[in-house]
């Protein structure tokens, strides 16, 4: 087989890149190790910045998102028993975010891929990348016991932290930065109406909490727990009791409980790999960076990578400018480090990591940044997402 771009990974970033390239007349093949059902079973966040919303529309896959997504003009932050609102319209030049589940975006993109007939291969094994630093890269894989090879021009590694793409870059050429936090988030999904029309991030004497949603009838809640906790030890009743104990009194009575649809514990960490490019191989999304979920930057950062790679490949194929690929890593990393800093900062403000002095400082931070126009603008502008830079 031969194609212009091989995309490894059929999560939302790989599917979005593939759809954009297909619409632009750039041939691509997507490889995915899991089944479609497994990919759709991954429960992830769903707060979308304007950047990814615009890209989904550009890909022609926004009909359901525009119909069912919930626009949010603000976010709320609770501490010391009170709740303060960050108004995006006032403090971020009228911008907003849209709440629409990552699983739903993935389903929409899968449907679009199938409808357009562009090739995608699931349940592939032993994917290997060959000669990415040459003019003739190659990808090999096995499916149904048979080996296949794809000659290509470029490779997009959208295969996550545990995929083959990052590991293909020689260790001597990559630098990895990591910070592991001493807590995890216990997430709880339920078909109950959300406690509020907007997300509420909060910290209490008993710990962190987040009240989120997927729709007007489906809620997503989180509390932080120690890393040695096991999800099996958390009954539905225990979770609701713990969450309720952390909520401010002003909203506690609005909490509607019900059986869980899904429960999981996700560790918190920050991670970046530099560079994000090795010859004609590009790392996209979790293959290159991970953020703690505080601030909802994971999928939004991946979409930034997709934006830059797509615009660069347009320069390559439509303007005959192969030298444009050299700017990929620098463009991505500037935006990534800003988002990593914001997520790290929000995580520290909203969690108690056991240092009493630091906790008092973080309470002071929360008071200042949610109590002044200057501080509210800092939160609002970064929460709605920094703009994409122009690809030259």
The residues carrying an active-site annotation are: 72, 201, 293, 297, 383
Q: Which two tokens stand for residue 283?
A: 């790392």
Q: Using CA atoms, how far apart are residues 312 and 261, in angstroms rounded to an integer?
A: 41
Place of tokens 């959208």: 158
The strand pairing partners of 155, in sequence order, are 6, 281
Instruction: Name the token pair of 57.
Output: 């529309």
Structural element, H or E, at residue 157: strand 154-157
Closest listed residue to residue 271, CA positions, set 298, 294, 250, 291: 291
Backbone φ, ψ for residue 295 (5° rounding): 105, -10
Q: In what order do the strands lie in the sheet with 289-290?
A: 82-87, 74-79, 200-204, 207-213, 219-226, 175-190, 260-274, 289-290
Are the CB atoms for 269 and 292 separated by under 8 Å? yes
Nearest CA among 5, 9, 13 for reference residue 307: 13
Strand partners, 361: none
The helix (run of H) or strand (run of E) holding residue 71 is strand 70-72
Structural tokens at position 14: 């790989």
- Residue with structure tokens 């009909």? 63
* Spatial distance between the Cα atoms of 99 and 74, rounded to a whole number of angstroms: 12
- 378 Rama sector, left if φ>0, alpha if ψ -120 to 50, beta otherwise: alpha
Q: Token pair for residue 167? A: 């590991």
Q: Which two tokens stand for residue 32?
A: 């995915």
Beta carbons of 19 and 112 less than 8 angstroms apart: yes
Cα 24 to Cα 278: distance, rounded to the nearest angstrom: 24
């Amino acid at each position: 087989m031969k194609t212009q771009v091989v995309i490894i990974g059929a999560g939302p970033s790989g599917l979005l890149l593939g759809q954009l390239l297909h619409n632009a007349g750039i041939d691509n093949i997507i490889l995915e190790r899991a089944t479609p059902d497994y990919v759709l079973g991954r429960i992830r966040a769903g707060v979308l910045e304007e950047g990814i919303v615009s890209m989904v529309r550009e890909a022609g896959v926004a009909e359901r998102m525009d119909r069912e997504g919930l626009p949010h003009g603000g976010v709320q932050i609770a501490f010391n028993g009170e709740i303060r609102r960050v108004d995006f319209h006032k403090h971020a030049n009228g911008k907003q975010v849209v709440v629409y589940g990552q699983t739903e975006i993935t389903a929409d993109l899968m449907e679009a891929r199938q409808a357009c007939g562009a090739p995608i291969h699931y349940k592939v094994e032993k994917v290997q990348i060959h000669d990415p630093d040459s003019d003739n890269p190659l990808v090999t894989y096995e499916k149904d016991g048979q080996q296949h090879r794809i000659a290509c021009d470029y490779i997009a590694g959208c295969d996550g932290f545990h995929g083959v793409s990052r590991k293909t870059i020689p260790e001597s050429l990559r630098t990895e930065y990591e910070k592991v936090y001493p807590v995890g988030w216990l997430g709880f999904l339920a078909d109950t109406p959300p406690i509020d029309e907007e997300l509420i991030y909060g910290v209490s004497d008993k710990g962190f909490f987040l009240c989120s949603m997927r729709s007007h009838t489906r809620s997503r809640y989180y509390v932080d727990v120690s890393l040695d906790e096991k999800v099996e030890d958390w009954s539905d009743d225990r979770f609701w009791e713990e969450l309720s104990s952390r909520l401010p009194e002003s909203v506690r009575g609005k909490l509607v409980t019900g059986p869980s649809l899904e429960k999981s514990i996700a560790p918190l960490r920050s991670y970046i790999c530099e560079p994000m490019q090795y010859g004609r191989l590009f790392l996209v999304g979790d293959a290159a960076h991970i953020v703690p979920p505080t601030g909802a930057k994971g999928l939004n950062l991946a979409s930034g990578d997709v934006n830059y790679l797509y615009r660069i490949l347009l320069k390559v194929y439509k303007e005959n400018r192969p030298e444009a690929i050299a700017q990929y890593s620098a463009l991505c990393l500037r935006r990534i480090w800003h988002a990593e800093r914001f997520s790290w900062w929000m995580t520290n403000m909203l969690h108690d990591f056991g240092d009493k002095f630091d906790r008092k400082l973080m309470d002071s931070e929360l008071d200042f940044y949610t109590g002044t126009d200057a501080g509210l603008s800092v939160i609002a502008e970064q929460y709605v997402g920094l703009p994409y830079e122009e690809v030259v």
